[in-house]
Amino acid sequence: MLWDEDGRRYIDMMGAYSAVSHGHCHPRLVSVLQQQAAKLAVVSRAFYTQPLGRFAQLACHLTGMERALPMNTGAEAVETALKLARKWAYTVKGVKSERARIIACQGNFHGRTIAIVGMSTVPQYRDAFGPYPPGTDIVPFGDAKALEEAITPDTAAFLVEPIQGEGGIIIPPPGALAECRRLCDRHKVLMICDEVQSGLGRAGAMLASEHEGIRPDIVTLGKALGGGLLPVSLVLAKAEVMDVFKPGDHGSTYGGNPLAAAVGHEALTVLVEEGLVQRAAELGPWLMEHLGTIPSPAIKEIRGRGLFIGVEFHPEIVSATAVCQALAERGILTKDTHRNTIRFSPPLVISHALLNEAVDALEQSLKALCG
Ligand SMILES: Cc1ncc(COP(=O)(O)O)c(C=O)c1O
């Protein structure tokens, strides 16, 4: 929950764009942050530190990956994954110098850096920020046939969010990502799953790609990895992929610092020990079911997995922005996203009672706005 300056209470159904999965200021995370900050916060990444070793090991163990490379923000993790894929293409796949291409999806959101907004299909995110690095192709999300047509011998990687978050909480058609995985294998293309938002239990599994039965070659994590306290991100990969990076190829002054690593390790530990992945898996369908009982013609579709849920409205009846404002007046905080959709991505520690309040508030808001 959050309180404003007048002491009014709000339920945070937004979770800071899924960064606050553990709840605000989780005492175990705050305690580890304080203890580590008092001991050692930042050293050169050239030096081994115990917190980083422990963190990388646990992250690999929980995600089934073999190598972990720490960064800070989600966008940096994705940029790192792209660099990795390009170097792999040149040194392993045999793509000719400067020709490697990356395939991304329509409606993607991978962050705000130049290379990444160059891949965006949202005019506001990309217009006025060019020119962009070349070497990107775009295919419709969840369309394996389009992916196959776009793959060329120069394709290094296919970059995809297993669930598009900022794009409007879009779930791919059943089996589509598994088919994309098969195509990547067949054409020797790396599959990069950007799980910065969908990972770490948000979608009711440690990685949302588990729902699709796939194992990516590279995974990016961020947001909740910092426990809602500080930016911590990771690029995880199979050994044969990550090992193309040699010392000095890549770096980050703060990436993997002992403070971030200690908090990241505790964030993963709390996720496991408090059963938060399972909690999202149970609460998500419960919330979807209750949202589904709201008798409003304004609702076009409710979709989601775990506690990563979008409610889309008919634009001719109501705008998602107006619904968010009406919800805020009733003590529920969230934010609209693309496709006239509001998202519910609350902390995974949320109770049934608070979720119920959110459902009631949505029903009242829609009544007030649409009659
Ligand atoms: C899927 C995905 N990737 C990357 C990012 C970028 O993360 P950051 O804002 O930490 O750079 C986001 C942020 O919303 C995201 O949803």
Cα separation, 94 vs 119, in Å, equals: 24
pLDDT band at 371 (very low <50, low <70, confident <90, very high): confident
Using DSSP, state whether 92 is helix, strand or coil.
helix
Kindly give the distance from the C-alpha atom of residue 234 to the centroid of ligand 1, in angstroms, as a whole number: 12
CA distance to 196, 224, 306, 330, per residue, from 229 (Å): 15, 9, 23, 27
Whether the model clears a pTM of 0.85, i.e. scores above it, the answer is yes
Domain parsing of the chain, residue ranges:
2-23+275-370, 27-273
**Strands of 299-305's sheet in order across:** 299-305, 308-313, 341-344, 336-337
Whether residue 131 has a cis bond before it, omega within 30° of 0: yes
Q: Per this entry, what is the length of the chain?
A: 371
Whether 73 lines ligand 1, by a CB cut-off of 6 Å, is: yes
Could you write out the DSSP letters of every residue in 190-214? EEEEE-TTTTTTTTSSSSGGGGGT-
Identify residue 146 by its one-letter amino acid code.
A
Phi, psi torsion values for 221, nearest 5 degrees? -125, 155
Q: Is 75 in the pocket of ligand 1 (CB under 6 A)?
A: yes
In this predicted structure, what is the pLDDT of residue 298?
97
351 — pLDDT class (breaks 50, 70, 90) = very high
How do residues 107-137 score in pLDDT, each as one tens digit?
999 999 999 999 999 999 999 999 999 999 9
Residue 189, Cβ density class (10 Å: 0-12 exposed, 13-18 middle, ≥19 buried): buried
Question: How remote is the CA of residue 83 from the centroid of ligand 1, in Å?
Answer: 17
* Top mutation candidate among 109, 163, 229, 232 for ligand 1, by most atoms within 8 Å of CB: 109
Under 8 Å between Cβ of 71 and 245: no
Atom of ligand 1 nearest to the CA of 161: 1
pLDDT of residue 212: 95
179 lines ligand 1 (CB under 6 A): no
Ligand 1 centre distance from Cα of residue 10 (Å): 24
Average pLDDT over residues 140-163: 98
Q: How far does the centroid of ligand 1 lie from the alpha carbon of residue 111, in Å?
A: 5
Ligand 1 atom 7: residue of nearest CA: 74
Q: How far is the CA of 178 from the centre of ligand 1 (A)?
A: 23
Q: What type of residue sits at position 139?
A: V
Please say whether the beta carbons of 369 and 48 come within 8 A: no
**Mean pLDDT value of segment 347-355:** 98
* Matching CATH number, 2-23+275-370, of 3.30.420.40, 3.90.1150.10, 3.30.300.30, 3.40.50.1970: 3.90.1150.10
- Identify which of 147, 145, 98, 107 has the alpha carbon closest to the alpha carbon of residue 125: 107
Q: Which atom in ligand 1 lies closest to the alpha carbon of residue 76?
A: 11
The four Cα atoms 144, 209, 82, 79 give a dihedral, to 10 degrees, of 130
Q: Mean pLDDT over all residues of the chain?
A: 97
Which residues belong to the active site? Answer: 109, 194, 223
Mean pLDDT of 35-42: 98
Domains 2-23+275-370 and 27-273 share a fold: no
Q: Which residues contact 316 (CB under 8 A, 6 or more apart)?
A: none
Tell me the per-residue pLDDT of 235-267, one tens digit each, with 9 for 90 and over. Answer: 999 999 999 999 999 999 999 999 999 999 999
> Which of these CATH numbers, 3.40.50.970, 3.40.640.10, 3.30.420.40, 1.10.10.60, describes 27-273?
3.40.640.10
Quick one: which atom of ligand 1 is closest to the CA of 198?
A: 1
